[in-house]
Amino acid sequence: MYSYLHDVARRLIAFDTVSAASNAAAAAYLAGELERHGFRVACQEYESGGVAKVNVVATAGPPVAGGLIVSGHVDVVPFANQAGWTRDPLVFAVDDVRAYGRGTSDMKGFIAQCVAAAAAIDHHRLARPLVFLFTADEEIGCCGARRVVPELPALVGHAPLPTLAWIGEPTAWRVHRAHKGIVVFTVTAHGVAGHSSLPERGQNAIAVMARAIAVIGAYQTELRAAVAPASAADFPECPYTALNLGAVAGGSADNMIADRCTLTVSYRPLPGEDPLAVHAEIGRRIAAADLRDPGSPAAPGRVDVGAPTVVAGMRSPRGTGLAAALAAVLGDRITADAGGAPFATDGGELARAGIAGLVCGPGELEQAHQPNESIARAAFEEGVDVIRRVVERLCAAG
Ligand SMILES: [Zn+2]
């Protein structure tokens, strides 16, 4: 009964779609299958660092308001130097209770279910559009979604676009309405090289960076205290913008004055807030601060705050038609409103286009990015019918 689902999963997992590699072959396979099932397929091709990337958009149903976008990312996280694998990550394998392979939970398992559901959908019954959106480069900052979402009206060839999106990231079918964004940037302190015996002839970039880190730390204390009620409900474990100092590098020897020090900073802005506000405020505070090297206090310290990479957050309204459909199909065994997801998704980019996303998928977060990644076989196999029934509720006549 599930032989086609297993076949699609086997084919998908065999494509090495680690984000650094091209996903073009996997995208061509998906496009071919969806075309065969009667969908109108449009591919957005682009290059990233000289590597060919493809976002796949497949549409069925009439050009009317309503309908649904069902979305997943085709890329996976690396496995080559990951300890703990006892299986081939690119070989789909099943035993009685689980299915194994890179991407089974995050999230080729869901995409395979979408393709199998696409084969089972009666196009004559579609009264509203159904759009499958399969993206590249989600794992490295939702880069594929950032490119494809603004082009969706043209790629779908439909007006209007559906305003609901289902993102099948691994949640063990729990339904999340929200997630934070992620903003990453580099801070660079510039000093003047010299011999450590004569500190005033130089300027120590590490000492300058220490001042900048103190400025960021003071702001971090304020951010921790700034908790909005909606954030407390959606993110009870961390209801504020979490900030992290990721990596610091500077200096080359104990008797040398460091002329350069770099720091990577990331933070997770709450949905509904300007994701760049914290970056801008850090820039303002560092520009206004005393950043002098205590060993060479005559010169002002110089620190650049680099341009940010932004993954958007998401906060969708309660009570959408998709929420009702998922609750009706999945029933009591799932948490129908699990609040904020602990990770970011392509849903943030969809939210920027006014599309309300929900995150809910068959995989398990504990399996995502892990060696010997797997998915419960029951959740994997039942998902085809879950998708078919949700689509039926949102896109079929009657
Ligand atoms: Zn994922």
- pLDDT, tens digit, for every residue of 326-376? 999 998 767 777 889 989 999 999 999 999 999 999 999 999 999 999 999
How much of the chain exceeds pLDDT 90, in percent? Answer: 92
What's the 383 CA to ligand 1 centre distance in angstroms?
A: 17
Residue type, 317: P
Q: How far is the CA of 198 from the centre of ligand 1 (A)?
A: 52
| Region of residue 141 (left: phi > 0; alpha: psi -120 to 50; beta: else) | left
Instruction: Give the separation between CA 363 and CA 366, rounded to whole angstroms.
Output: 9
So where are the chain's domains?
A: 3-178+312-395, 182-311
Ligand 1 centre distance from Cα of residue 313 (Å) = 15
CA of 170 to the centre of ligand 1 (A): 7
CA atoms within a 13 Å half-sphere pointing along the CA-CB vector of 98:
11
Q: Does an H or E element contain 321, and which?
A: helix 321-330
What is the 285 CA–ligand 1 centroid distance (Å)? Answer: 35
Please identify which of the residues 33, 75, 259, 349 carries the catalytic annotation. 75
Say how many C-beta atoms besides its own lie within 10 A of residue 236's C-beta: 10
User: Which pLDDT value is given to residue 365?
Assistant: 94
pLDDT for the residue 1: 66
Residues in contact with 25: Cβ distance below 8 Å, sequence separation at least 6, in sequence order: 15
Residue whose C-alpha is closest to residue 123's, from 361, 396, 383:
396
| Residue 230: per-residue pLDDT | 82
Question: How far is C-alpha 380 from the geometric centre of its chain's CA atoms?
Answer: 21
204 Cβ neighbours under 8 A, 6+ residues apart: 191, 257, 258, 293, 295, 296
Residue type, 103: G
Cα 278 to ligand 1 centroid, rounded to whole Å: 26
Annotated active-site residue 304? The verdict is no
Ligand 1 mean position to 257 CA, how many Å? Answer: 43
Identify the CATH number of the domain defined by range 182-311. 3.30.70.360
For 169-196, the pLDDT digits (tens) are: 999 999 999 999 999 999 999 999 999 9
Type of residue at 394: L
The active-site residue out of 16, 33, 137, 138 is 138
The residues facing 257 across adjacent strands are 194
Annotation marks residue 381 as catalytic:
no
CATH match for 3-178+312-395 among 3.30.1360.200, 3.40.630.10, 1.25.40.10, 3.40.50.970:
3.40.630.10
- Tell me the two tokens of residue 284: 């303002």
Instruction: Dump pLDDT digits (tens) for 193-230.
Output: 999 999 999 999 999 999 999 999 999 999 999 888 88
CA of 213 to the centre of ligand 1 (A): 32
Q: How far is the CA of 107 from the centre of ligand 1 (A)?
A: 6
Helices 24-36 and 108-120 cross at an angle (nearest 10°) of 20
Q: What is the pLDDT of residue 144?
A: 97
Distance 367 CA to ligand 1 centre (A): 11
pTM equals 0.90
Instruction: Report the alpha-carbon distance of residue 206 to residue 66 in Å, rounded.
Output: 56
Ligand 1: distance of its center to the CA of 345 in Å?
A: 7
- Average pLDDT value for the chain: 95
- How far away, in angstroms, is 169 Cα from ligand 1 center? 5
Beta-strand pair 356-359/164-167 = parallel
